[in-house]
Amino acid sequence: MAEAHQAVAFQFTITPEGIDLQLSRQALGQIYRSGLRCWKKRLSRMKNRVLKGVYPASPSSWLFVVIVILATMYTQSDPSMGLITKIQEHLPLSAQGQTMVSALLFSTLLWLSLILALRFCLKVLLSYHRWMFEQHGRISTITKVWVSLVRLLSSRTPLLYSYQTSLPHLPVPAIRDTLERFLESVRPLQSPADFERVSRLAADFERTLGNRLQRYLKLKALWATNYVSDWWEEYVYLRGRSPIMVNSNYYGMDFLYVTPTSNQAARAGNTITALLLYRRKVNREELKPSRIPGTVIPLCAAQCERMFNTTRAPGEETDVLQHWQDSEFVAVYHRGRYYRLWVYRAGRLLSPREIQYQIQKILDDPSPPQAGEEKLGALTAGNRTPWARVRKQYFSSGVNKRSLDCIEKAAFFVSLDEQEEGMKGDDPEGNLDCYAKALLHGKCYDRWFDKSFSVVVFKNGKTGLNAEHSWADAPTVAHLWEFTLATDAFQLGYDIDGNCRGEVEHSLPPPQRLTWDIPPEAQVSESLAVAQALADDVDCHVFPFMEFGKGRMKKLKISPDAFIQLSLQLAYYRDRGGFCLTYEASMTRLFREGRTETVRSCSSESCAFVLALEDRVATLIQPIAVCLFRKAAEKHQNLYRLAMTGSGIDRHLFCLYVVSKYLGVDSPFLKEVLSEPWRLSTSQTPVQQMELFDLVNHPEFISLGGGFGPVADDGYGVSYIIVGENMVNFHVSCKHSCKETVSERASSTRKQANYFSVKKRVLYCTMNTQRTLT
């Protein structure tokens, strides 16, 4: 009760002599400091709105324009060509006042016009994408001039969102171009008869329904900021009724070789602090805008807006993303109990040592879970419609609503796990697989999969995260996680005993235990059964490839991404004896509110290279194989560039399909295209902040990246991260229930044998590809 009394600012009692008012100076001081923090944040937001509102100019440039106009008027010249005189006629002031005010008004109008002109010029410049298609080392004169102009207009230090209004809108490709690229992508995957049939469907679609749908899509592109993103978020993510665990959420891992401390509470303290420091930078817009590596070209930062204080609320037909402006606490789960942990006190962010102190209180709490509390999180792991109904019936009022609000309005979710994870013990490779599964789904009830992201801290100090996919894509979360790992290890650090640094205010109120009243009818067990079956079916394998890396690939003058994608094509062919529709995620953040586009990595050129490499006769003629490989790599790079610059295939066809559904018309062509399975789904996790990691002096601080579940039941999910010059980390997933995937056919006598024909195929195919070139 002592903590409750401290939270009361004043008390009063009625006596015969009157009202006896008792003030708590400590509580009033805390209220004052908390209010002061809120006002500072409001003033900071107002300041940032002004700074980014006038970008690429600066507020001080207004004064420069005013001085120039006044100086020109002083020389008896009229820079306004009569406009200042017109303004003076409508001002009820003295002659001197009319002159000054009219000059200020005209200067302001001129300044605003110049800002709009500069912003328009920057948008036009950022709409130029030909530089991406030029050969390395052969830059045209136009591109050199363009780079100089972009640098000139971007010379002022930008805030995180300064470029947003200057980014171009995503263009709608010509429907004929999209259909031609689509037919080119499916040619190597279909028989001549099937390809002829699909070609007729495409021609019929273009001739009849296609142009009608295209007109509606162009109308939306004129009206909306981005003609894809809102529909993609709603129909691909939020309207999905299957579990988001495994099917949608993805994970990120800790360092491979290093665990900064084995103290679970200390690691949680530094990790939570680093995440909150990142949130502070986002709120203050102090983060540098992301750019294409090695260039001055900015990327859209809109996905950062819903990174924190965000949850995905279930609905019977569609889910809703809920975002709050601020949150001063995080939600914590440990041994079946939920807590609210305040991370601010009187407007001050708690130190890492204080957060460790609070986490330790949770770890030492011997109280058991309440009835129905331990496995409550399974509701977020199961099917969405039952969760929506249960939420509406049992969590819309009373104590359950208050506790659910604490989780959903938290800055993020923290899970303190009881088991140890990482590359350890006698079976490090097998333990890495368990580590991946622990982050991807855990026990199916010890994560809150609806939160924008959940941080997991294991008993031995290893960490990781599980991220919900609808609000942002992996590069945005990867940027956050890179900052967190670097800040934890290199900035905050630990003392010699493995504890966080800093002092502890022992009067801190303890973490608040959340209370529940969960009836047996809440269907927690049903959701857990669905989630558990999905988790048991998925198989994950993580392995670092260290034979060579980006350095050798670049020496061969081959794009590392193209090199790995062609190796995956070869691995899939050797595994399944054929080719499949392959998905590689590419970003479209060159455009405002851009998200992703699909690169169809399986092309005629890649198939020709794989078949040549499998033909022993052709392999003996090495120049032929090398030539085919370079053609395939260049083709892949061109497909990637087209996807990045808004000329992809799949998002355009997806939006045409959405329009057809709105109009109530059926298209056999679109229906067939969008029903094709992606049996090989791939994604590269980019390393965006190498300056935070000194891999030369500290090569052990290597991140493992992250991964995701398979998109198709009979396919593979492959994620990879290129680390430094000599390492590539792979994350491969598939399902046990499919008899065609490798894990089902492999020996089950040992866990590490479960996946290892996949590993060997990827490793050997990567090395074979390299040997072909050398």
Which amino acids are annotated catalytic? 469
Burial of 493 (0-12, 13-18, 19+ CB in 10 A): middle
Contact 367, 513 (CB under 8 A): yes
The rounded distance, in Å, linking the Cα atoms of 138 and 211 is 39
- Strand ranges (E), 658-715: 680-684, 706-708
The rounded distance, in Å, linking the Cα atoms of 206 and 76 is 65
- In the three-class reduction of DSSP (H, G, I as helix; E, B as strand; rest coil), residue 22 is classed as strand
Contact 664, 652 (CB under 8 A): no
97 contacts: CB under 8 Å, gap ≥ 6: 91
Given the structure tokens 């995956």, which residue do they identify? 568
- In the three-class reduction of DSSP (H, G, I as helix; E, B as strand; rest coil), residue 561 is classed as helix
The rounded distance, in Å, linking the Cα atoms of 442 and 419 is 10
244 contacts: CB under 8 Å, gap ≥ 6: 312, 380, 381, 384, 449, 450, 468, 469
Contact 585, 719 (CB under 8 A): no
**In the chain, helix, strand, coil percent, each to 5?**
50, 15, 35
246: alpha, beta or left? (left if phi > 0; alpha if psi -120 to 50)? left
Tell me: cis bond preceding 173? Omega within 30 of 0 counts. Answer: no
- Burial 136-149, CB ≥16 within 10 A → b, else e: eeeeeeeeeebbee
Instruction: Give DSSP secondary structure letters for 299-364.
Output: ---GGGGGSSSEEEE--SS--EEEE-S--SEEEEEETTEEEEEE-EETTEEPPHHHHHHHHHHHHH
> Six-digit token pair at 275?
């995440």
> Six-digit token pair at 234?
């709603």
71 contacts: CB under 8 Å, gap ≥ 6: none
- Strand ranges (E), 442-595: 453-457, 463-467, 512-513, 538-545, 582-587
- Strand ranges (E), 398-462: 413-416, 453-457
Closest-CA residue to 766 (of 617, 540, 550): 550
Instruction: Give, in order, the Cα–Cα distances in Å from 757 to each of 209, 250, 583, 735, 744.
Output: 47, 24, 22, 15, 11
Residue 324: what residue type? W
Residue 32: what residue type? Y
Give strand pairing partners of 15. 18
Contact 276, 343 (CB under 8 A): yes
Residue 386: what residue type? P
